[in-house]
A and B are shown apart, each in its own frame.
Chain A
Amino acid sequence: MSDPAPAAPAGPALRAAGLSHSYGDLPVLRSIDLELPAGGTLAVLGPNGAGKSTLLRIVSTLLRPTAGSIALYGHELPREAWKLRGRIGFLGHQPLLYRDLGARENLDFHGKLFGLDGAGAERADELLDRVGLAHRAATRVDEMSAGMVKRLAVCRALLHEPDLLVLDEPLANLDPAGAEVVAPLLGPAPGRTRVIVTHDVEAALEQADRVLGLHRDGSVAFEIAAAEVDPATAREIYSERAGAVR
């Protein structure tokens, strides 16, 4: 396990074909096809229950698809998920932080899991400073507000400078000032591929290269270049009618 992952075959950062997932008998994702080049941003839109978070968990290697195939940087999941460990930064609904540890203690712990030694400590300090938590480095997570926890979770997701950022409503729980601080950290960067779930249609179209719209039943409404998406059409998938007709 201590050897670095083998070099990835050339190709798209993310490729899925017929990707589906069911929880027991309940299908939540239905036959998703998509492709995202390295360095690109995919925005995923859809109403609650459309399977967006499930899709992100599959992309993050945390969940096995029940049908179809998915590959990240040419590595098939779940078979080659181990080769991708350490290359993905996941920011989901759960902050993945220990409530009884301080902010800095949490980052130190995650740094050790990712094999970051001295550089990890410097990076943790830098990130805490950038999200405005440097003065709260010793504060325990269970003593923080939801917005502070979110900012700390952003630090945790970025600590190892991942190639692929998987973000589930990354600005949720943040006040405008917090969102202003965090948004640039999660924005485009050289070599960084992003998959973002958001309900903010305008922001999604502004940031993304491609947009995946999901119906309430987990099927694909559209998967096209962001420039081709009409905001009104994108908003349509959020209406009950759009979900009901499927």
Chain B
Amino acid sequence: MSGRAPSTGKVVRAVLGKDLRVELRTLQSVPAMLLFATTIFVLFRFGLDRTRLDGGLAAGVLLVTILFAALLAINRIFVAEREQGGFEAIRLAPADGTALFFAKAAALLVYLIVLELFALPVFWLFFLADASGLVPMLPVLLLLDVALAVTGALIAPMATNSRARDLIGPLILLPLIVPAMIAAAGAGRHLLAAGGPSYEQYGTWLAVLGLYDLVFLLIGWAAFDFLIED
């Protein structure tokens, strides 16, 4: 009966659907990310002893919180594939291995968007005088989310195959994500400035983020098959 090799798109949809179904059923990643982000906001609020933030400090608090919350999901995104045989299943099937990369990146992107739907209102409540800067921050955050998702999906299989999974992931990911964080912070500094958002170099920073996303998408597409070999 062996069917025709499924298209990459079909395999992406199958793996993504499976991951989202399992997450809805087990709530292993997203609730932990939400709780973690809230806790970090509380810590910043009391640690900085400030009820209002603006400019670079506001952008830094928001972006660093998202980055560390993302690490929680990135560390877990391939655990089921490793422990329950997903890598082997993909390698036995006539499916394109890079579909796993795209599906995992898409799953991480969904988790990050859900996180931000929750975290941005909390951030506004805790730290901002007005929300006008958050609206133009949305494209910045979306491109940063893609950067985190793509880089995370690329790094996570290496970390998952290591015994020091919780250490290896952040150690490799954090330096790699620095250019994207610089670009997001560069845009955020002006958008969250006191007195309302300014759009200084907004397009440039978006372009940098977009280029980063594209480069790591291409690297993942080219290299992922090698990362999941035994």
Contacts and interface: CB of A to CB of B under 8 A. Distances in A.
Interface of A: 1-5, 57, 60-64, 85-88, 90, 92, 94-101, 105, 109-110, 112-117, 119-120, 123, 160-163
Contact of B85 (A61, A95, A119, A123): A95
Contacts of A92: 88
Contact of B2 (A63, A105, A162): A162
B152 to A, nearest CB: 21
B22 A114 contact: no
A2 B4 contact: yes
A51 to B, nearest CB: 15
Given A98-B22, A109-B14, A113-B93, A3 B84 contact: no
Interface string B71-94: 000000000100011101111111
A113 B230 contact: no
Contact of B11 (A97, A101, A112, A117): A112
A122 to B, nearest CB: 10
B10 A112 contact: yes
Interface of B: 1-8, 10-11, 13-14, 18, 21-22, 25-26, 80, 84-86, 88-96, 229-230
A97 B89 CA distance: 9
- Do most interface residues of chain A lie in helix, strand or loop, or is the interface mixed? loop
Contacts of B13: 112
A62 B14 contact: no
Contacts of A116: 1, 3
Given A98-B18, A101-B22, A5 B94 contact: yes
A112 B15 CA distance: 9
A119 B1 contact: yes
7 contacts: A1-B94, A2-B7, A57-B230, A105-B21, A114-B93, A119-B1, A120-B1
B18 A113 contact: no
Given A1-B96, A62-B230, 9 more contacts: A2-B4, A86-B3, A88-B92, A92-B88, A96-B85, A96-B86, A96-B89, A100-B25, A101-B18
A126 B10 CA distance: 24
A98 B14 contact: no
Nearest to A63: B230
Contact of B1 (A4, A61, A96, A123): A123
A233 B34 CA distance: 63
